[in-house]
């Protein structure tokens, strides 16, 4: 089958016809991809900023159709439309039972499910969506209604759950709270529309690319600023006190520090961006103790994919989340490399590979 492969970190991705998936084993299903979004974490893996096993089939924001069940697998049945979850909750570990399935401790990197020219390769984050087919843990294939378009379904699989979930699950933002969002890409735009959903105000969006700020306004930011203007905006909008909530959606030490510094006493900084383990962020002991600010990570929107994908799709159906508007370009597998480059440009929120 056809798919994207990364052979060496830091090198461009290649497209090949020499991929093959092995048959699904016990506990697994085979899924035919129909749409897959290009997320910054894919690029970070290809650049070596996030860990990945090579050769890698990237792509972790996908939707498709179940085409084969492994031995003894009871479902979802062949023909079911699914969103792929890059964290398949086991349902029985202490964290799953404790209501934190995004932190499931049973998630292990699966054995190689895919080969390139007969040699073992690895499906990115266990799902490897930039290929025509993938073999995944059956618990990673989350059923959705048949009438949801696959492109809309795909973006729910990472950007929407991560961004909206950061607001409604991780931070539990209350109406009227002030919110800062640093980074207005595919994920950040969903933090902004999550803040709109939560009736936050004001919502300040920060990005260095002017077109991203226009998109931020369209998705619900009440105010926008470039990084240089952030200091002034904090003074104007919060009287210098800082925001109730500050979301960092870039994944860099400098922006994490900016988010923290713009958080008010007793407020909460949420790190949504996926940073590298080589990046260090510095806090002095006094500021941690004396200002009672909270600092929290956010993995996959602190969500439960088994219920949250459906919840987000219901909000979309009711017109409360704009998912079509996230999709700027529909591309083929051949254009994934260009989509990585386009991510930095102004006119793309999400590029979607259509199969």
170 binds, among Zn ion, ligand APR, none (CB under 5 to 8 A by kind): none
Which residue stretches of 35-138 are H helix? 40-47, 94-97
Least Å from the CB of residue 23 to Zn ion: 26
Please give the radius of gyration of the chain, using alpha carbons only, rounded to the nearest integer: 20
Least Å from the CB of residue 186 to ligand APR: 4
> 130: which 2 tokens?
């930039």
| Pick 252 or 317: Cβ nearer ligand APR | 252
Q: DSSP class of residue 324?
A: G
Least Å from the CB of residue 162 to ligand APR: 6
- For Zn ion, which stretch binds (CB under 5 A), given 91-99, 116-124, 212-220, 312-320? 91-99
What is residue 295's three-state secondary structure? strand
Check residue 39 for interaction with Zn ion (CB under 5 A): yes
35 binds, among Zn ion, ligand APR, none (CB under 5 to 8 A by kind): none
Least Å from the CB of residue 318 to ligand APR: 24
100: CB partners within 8 A, 6+ apart: 302
Phi-psi region of 115 (alpha: psi -120 to 50; beta: other; left: phi over 0): beta
Phi, psi of 79 (to 5 degrees): 100, -15
| Pick 5 or 349: Cβ nearer ligand APR | 349
Whether cis (ω within 30° of 0) applies to the bond prior to 76 is yes
Out of 158, 166, 200, 225, point to the residue binding Zn ion (CB under 5 A). Answer: 158
Check residue 106 for interaction with Zn ion (CB under 5 A): yes
212 binds, among Zn ion, ligand APR, none (CB under 5 to 8 A by kind): ligand APR
Q: Applying CB under 6 A, which residues contact ligand APR?
A: 39-41, 44, 162, 182-188, 206-209, 212, 227, 249-251, 255, 272-274, 343
Q: Angle at Cα 59 formed by Cα 10 and Cα 107, nearest 5°?
A: 105
Phi, psi of 289 (to 5 degrees): -80, -45
Q: Which residue is nearest to ligand APR (CB)?
A: 185
269 binds, among ligand APR, Zn ion, none (CB under 5 to 8 A by kind): none
| Pick 137 or 248: Cβ nearer ligand APR | 248
Least Å from the CB of residue 20 to ligand APR: 29
Check residue 299 for interaction with Zn ion (CB under 5 A): no
* b/e 11-47 (16+ beta carbons within 10 angstroms → b): eebebbeebebeebeebbbbbebbbbbbbbbbbbbbe
Binding site for Zn ion (CB under 5 A): 39, 41, 90, 93, 96, 104, 106, 158
């Amino acid at each position: 089958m056809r798919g994207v492969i990364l052979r060496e970190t830091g090198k461009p991705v290649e497209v090949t016809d020499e991929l093959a998936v092995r048959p699904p084993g016990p506990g697994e299903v085979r899924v035919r991809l129909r749409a897959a979004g290009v997320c910054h974490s894919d690029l970070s893996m290809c650049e070596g900023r996030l860990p990945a096993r090579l050769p890698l089939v990237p792509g972790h924001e996908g939707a498709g159709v179940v085409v084969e069940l492994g031995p003894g697998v009871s479902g979802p049945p062949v023909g079911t439309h699914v969103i792929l979850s890059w964290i398949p909750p086991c349902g029985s570990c202490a964290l799953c039972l404790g209501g934190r399935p995004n932190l499931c401790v049973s998630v292990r990197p699966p054995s190689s499910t895919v080969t390139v020219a007969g040699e073992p390769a690895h499906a990115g984050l266990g799902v490897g969506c930039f290929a025509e087919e993938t073999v995944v843990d059956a618990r990673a294939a989350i059923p959705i209604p048949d009438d949801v378009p696959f492109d809309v379904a795909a973006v729910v699989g990472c950007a929407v759950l991560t961004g909206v979930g950061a607001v409604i699950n991780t931070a539990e933002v209350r109406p009227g709270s002030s919110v800062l969002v640093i980074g207005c890409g595919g994920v950040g735009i969903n933090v902004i529309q999550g803040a709109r959903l939560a009736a936050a105000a004001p919502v300040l969006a920060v990005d260095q690319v002017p077109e991203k700020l226009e998109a931020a306004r369209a998705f619900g930011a009440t105010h926008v600023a470039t990084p240089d203007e952030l200091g002034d905006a904090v003074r104007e909008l919060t009287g210098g006190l800082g925001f109730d909530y500050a979301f960092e959606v870039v994944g860099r030490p400098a922006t994490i520090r900016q988010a923290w510094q713009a958080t008010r006493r007793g407020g909460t900084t949420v790190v949504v961006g996926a940073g590298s383990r080589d990046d260090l962020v510095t806090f002095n002991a006094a500021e941690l103790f004396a200002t009672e600010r909270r600092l929290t990570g956010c993995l996959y929107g602190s969500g439960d994919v088994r219920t949250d994908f459906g919840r987000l799709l219901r909000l979309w159906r009711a017109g409360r989340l704009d998912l079509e508007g996230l999709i700027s370009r529909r591309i083929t597998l051949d254009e994934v490399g260009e989509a990585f480059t386009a991510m930095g440009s102004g006119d793309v929120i999400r590029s979607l590979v259509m199969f």
